[in-house]
Structure formats: C-alpha cells, structure tokens
A and B are shown apart, each in its own frame.
Chain A
Amino acid sequence: MTSVGEVAPARPTAHHRARWPWLVVLAAAGLVVAAVLGTGLGRDPTVVDSVLLGRPAPPLAGSTLDGDSFDLDDYRGKVVLVNVWASWCAPCRREYPLLEQAVSGLTPLGLQVVGINTQDTVEDARAFLKDMGGENFPSVVDPGGRLAVEWGTFGVPETFVVGRDGQLRAKYVGELSGDWITTTVLPLLEQR
C-alpha cells in the first residue's frame, strides 16, 4: 500500500507544448509595434511639416518694438523671413548674428526680415537687442503669444519663410543654420 502523506507530483509537461505558438504571436506583435514606433527615429526633428505650408501666410500686423506699425500684406512681392524670438531664449541669442548677416547680405535681393517678439516684455526685448548691438529688423510685439499661435508656433526660436506671392513656403524649428538659409531662402529670392 502506498503511504498517505505523499505529495502529488507536479502537473505534467505536456501542457507546456501548447504555449509556444502564443509566444511567437507575442514576439511578432512586439516587433510590429517596435517597427511602427521606430519610424520616428529616422526623422529630422528640426524639419517640421507645418499644416500651413503651401497656403497663404497667416496675418501679421501690429505695432513694433520701436513704436511703428507693421503689416505683412505691405510686403507682397518680397521674400519675408519671419523669426519668432524672445529675450529669454538662449538659442535666439546665438542665431541673431546670422539674421544680421541675412539682412545685410540678402536685402538687396529682395529679402525682408521681421521678428515676432512673443511672450516677452518690451523692456526685456529692447535690452536684448541692445546687447546684440542694435535692432537690424523690425519686430512685432506679441506679449500674449497670440500671433505665435496664429502662426502655429510650438516654441522659440522658430523661423518661417513667406514667398513673394504671400504663401508660406518653409518653416524651421530651432536655432537657425547658415546652410538652411542658403538651401531654402536663397532659391526663393532667385525666383522673380
């Protein structure tokens, strides 16, 4: 006779046999998800597909830092570089010399540079420009960020290019590079 206190043996291994198809399915699903999410890794974060590209540029009118008024509609026929900046933004400080160069070098070709000074105070903005050696282009005041929202801005600095026909042609997120100006803005200036 068998003794009473014996423990039953562990349940048999035959059941494990049914599990491996599920593991394969799970692994395949994981690979699919990783592939879908991974497509984002190859994209350049500074090249943003703005919804407004290829359509008429949003309105840009208001008073500037030095008290004048500005209206984008008056500049139809010129290529307008709209730079969204603020005094508290460090990359804006770094890219300012580039904008200066663009103004001095490209204005004869028909470029007009204008800034949107967003989420900032007039005093701080003027101090910023004084630090940079003076104001080279007009900047429209936008304390509440309303103009920035009109242009679909995510943060500062962002730069937009409006073509001679008034349509929004390009957008650059982040600190400007000379390469981008050469490859994107110059061709627009060369078209008449």
Chain B
Amino acid sequence: MNRRLALVLGLVALLGLAVAGLWRAATPAARPSPDNRAEAIAAVLRCPTCQGLSVADSPSTLAAGMRDIIDEQIAQGRSPDEIRAWFVTRYGPWILLSPSFAGIGWLAWALPAVVVTTGVAGALAFARRGRARPAPAVIDEHVVDQTLAAYEAQTLTVNDTFGGQRLESALLLLHTVRADQAGGVTAPGAERFARERVALALAVRAASDRENEPATTSDAAPAPIARKARRGLPWAGAAAAFTLVLTGMVATSLAPRGADGVLTGTLPDAPTPAAVARLDGLRQAADRNPRDPDVRLAFGNALADADRLDEAAGEYRAALAQQPDDARIRLVLVSTLLRAGDVDAARAEVDRVLAEDADNPDAVLLRGLIQLRQGEPAAHATLRRFLILAPASHPGIELANNLLDQDDHP
C-alpha cells in the first residue's frame, strides 16, 4: 500500500509541476528588454532550413537573416504579435512552432492531456486486475456455523484446490479461537475476524471450484469484473476531475489571447481590430510604395493616432525625403515630435519651416509652444505674434489665449 501511495503521489507531483509550467508559460511576462524580446520571438518561429529547430537555435544562414529581421522590426517598434504575423503572411501558419488554438491546432494541445489521462487510467486498471477478490461485507452466519460443525465432525469434504486449502485454514483458525474462548482466553474481535475468514474462504472456494470445472467457465467472469469496475471508479473520477481543472486553468490563461493568438509571449496593449486592420493595410501600402509621400503621410497619421509616435515620425520623415518643401508635412512632424517629447528635434524642424516662410501661423504657434516648453520668456511674444497672424477661424487661437492668460494671471 505504501509503495502504491508513493507512486501515486509522485505521479500527482509530476503532473502538478507540468501544469504549473504550462500555466507559467501561458501567462504574460513582465516587460522584457529588446534582446529578450527578440529571443522570445525567435524561439517560437521555426527555421525554414532546419525545420525541427527554432530560429533562435538554428545555425543556418536563413535563420540568421530572420533574426536580423526580427531585431530590425523590434527597433521599429513592432509588437511580437505583429512580427510573428509578418512571418506567417510569408510562410503560412507552419512557421510558428506553437500551433495556434484556432482550427486543428487545438488538437495538438488537447491530445497530450487526453493521452496522459487515458494512459494513467489504463495503467491503474491493469495493475488492479489481478486483485479482484469477492469481499462479502455481510456474512451468512448460518452457513459458517454449518461448515464449522461439519469440519469438527470431520464430515466436511474439502477439495484439493487453493480454495479448499484456504477454507481449511480458516476453519482451523475459527475452531482454535472458539477453543480458546472456551478455555477462558479471549481476544476482542478474534471470533468475528475468524468467522469472516471462513465466510471469505467459502466464497473463494465457491468461485475457484466453479472455475476449475471444465464445462462451465463462462459464468465465472461477471461478478469479479463488476466489482473491479466499481473499485476503479474513484480513480477514473479523480483523473477526470484533474483533467477538467487543468483544462480550466489553461483556458482561463489563454482567454485574453483570442482565437488566432499564439499561446505564449507578451500580450500587446490591444487596439481595436478595425484599427489594426487599417494600420496593416496602410503598412502594406507603404511597403509597396515607399516613395509615395501621400501614402507614407497617411500611414504616419494612422500610427500617430495609435500613439506610436516614433514610428509616425519616421514615416513623416520618409515623406519629407520625397517632398522636402512641403511645410504641411513638416509641421505635422513637428507636432508629433512635440507629443513624443523630442523638443530639440521639433525645434530644429519648425525653424526650418520658418526659414522658408516666417509668417506661417501654424509654424509660429508651434514655435511658441516649444519655447514655452523650454521655459523661454520669448514664448509670449511668439504666441502674441501668432494671434496677430492667425486667421479668425484658426483652431489654435483659443489655446494661445489660454496659455497667455495663464501666464499673465497666475
């Protein structure tokens, strides 16, 4: 019993560790450094050349190229999900080492749990099959007394079988206990125990005698098997409960990821699906038309809306590379840089606009804001100049007024 208990405990401990490991892998990690992020992404991509290895592990040149691409895209600020999706659009879902949960992929995750559970249940059933013994809880006292009487009168016939030997031993025990009692020596429960042994031996003998009759072996089976099934039921129930708990834990950990998500790795802050789709569409357009300033401007605007200011600034700069004289784009760049906190770069760009056109009201307003940010006293003069230059319907007038009022009336 102790060894079996130890085995079961060891199995439970092992399964518990496996579950803990799976749960830990599925919960999002804290914000990692870029190197860790690159490695984390590379670890879940399959190398196209050495197809059993991950991109992080593979020595092939193609994997090195993929690692470079991953580093580049992380520097551009793309999220792990986007980078993985980029590879999936080129190679198909096959490129991911972890199958996604959608479609047939769930099978890869469910199958090990099912196999383990079935295997454990089967092994336990197999281990128990030799132990079926009829165990009567209620014994027929009358039959026991009769048998004992026949034994003591030496009129009992006992077959030369295993069952017969047991019966003989049990009857001898009962006889001895009763003799002791008659002689004044009693052990509490001894007679009860002895009577149960006799009853047990009678039942076993009946079963084994039936089996040893050559003609009618077919009716020996049903009772032992029924009992076997009943005794295995708690184990099956435990295994089923365990599987349910495991499934529940994994499902709750995976719920935030959506049907198409990959199972491990950090979750990004989720923008709406429509915004993401639009962003993807614009990105593809920008990739296909890198020299079209309008496309890059549109993409930059979408990125700025999504608060990805550094990327947006990059796109605006690319558009400006095509059209260096476009003040409108440059001013959008300035306001984006200002939002991102890069005041020096914003100042350089706005000064460039003002060098071309000193009376551009938007540029003057932005310059005033920059000066205010940098704490220069000339900011007020600049803002007042903006108020003079701006047409009546300019949306920045109220802002300028508020800023001036604040400083005039602290």
Chain A residue nearest to B164 (CB atoms) is A2
Question: Do B130 and A149 touch across chains, with their CB atoms under 8 A apart?
Answer: no
Question: Do A144 and B49 touch across chains, with their CB atoms under 8 A apart?
Answer: no
Closest beta carbon of chain B to A122's beta carbon, Å = 15
Q: Which of B49, B158, B165, B221 contacts A17 (CB 8 A)?
A: B221
Q: Which of B61, B91, B168, B224 contacts A145 (CB 8 A)?
A: B61
Question: Do A56 and B92 touch across chains, with their CB atoms under 8 A apart?
Answer: no
Would you call A155 an interface residue if the criterion is a C-beta within 8 Å of the partner chain's C-beta atoms?
A: yes
Would you call A12 an interface residue if the criterion is a C-beta within 8 Å of the partner chain's C-beta atoms?
A: yes
Chain B residue nearest to A9 (CB atoms) is B162
Question: Do A150 and B90 touch across chains, with their CB atoms under 8 A apart?
Answer: yes
Closest beta carbon of chain B to A94's beta carbon, Å = 20
Chain B residue nearest to A144 (CB atoms) is B65
Q: Which A residues are CB-close (under 8 A) to B160?
A: 2
Q: Which of B48, B162, B221 contacts A14 (CB 8 A)?
A: B221
How many residue pairs bridge A and B at CB < 8 Å? 79
Q: Which A residues are CB-close (under 8 A) to B239?
A: none
Cα–Cα, bound, A56→B285 (Å): 11
Question: Do B211 and A149 touch across chains, with their CB atoms under 8 A apart?
Answer: no
Question: Do A148 and B162 touch across chains, with their CB atoms under 8 A apart?
Answer: no
Q: Which of B61, B69, B88, B224 contacts A119 (CB 8 A)?
A: B61
Question: Do B49 and A155 touch across chains, with their CB atoms under 8 A apart?
Answer: yes
Question: Do B65 and A59 touch across chains, with their CB atoms under 8 A apart?
Answer: no
Q: Which A residues are CB-close (under 8 A) to B211?
A: 12, 14
Question: Do B64 and A144 touch across chains, with their CB atoms under 8 A apart?
Answer: yes
A6-B165, A14-B211, A59-B287 given; A145·B90 CB < 8 A: no
Cα–Cα, bound, A45→B165 (Å): 70
Q: Which of B61, B90, B168 contacts A2 (CB 8 A)?
A: B168
Would you call B230 an interface residue if the criterion is a C-beta within 8 Å of the partner chain's C-beta atoms?
A: no
Q: Which B residues are CB-close (under 8 A) to A8?
A: 162
Q: Which B residues are CB-close (under 8 A) to A56?
A: 288
Chain A residue nearest to B220 (CB atoms) is A14
Besides A149-B48, A149-B87, A153-B62, 17 more A-B contacts (Cβ < 8 Å) are: A1-B168, A2-B160, A8-B162, A12-B217, A52-B90, A56-B288, A59-B287, A119-B62, A144-B64, A144-B68, A145-B62, A145-B64, A146-B65, A148-B62, A149-B66, A150-B90, A154-B49
The interface of chain A, by Cβ under 8 A from chain B, is 1-2, 6, 8-9, 11-15, 17-18, 49-52, 56, 58-59, 73, 119, 144-146, 148-155
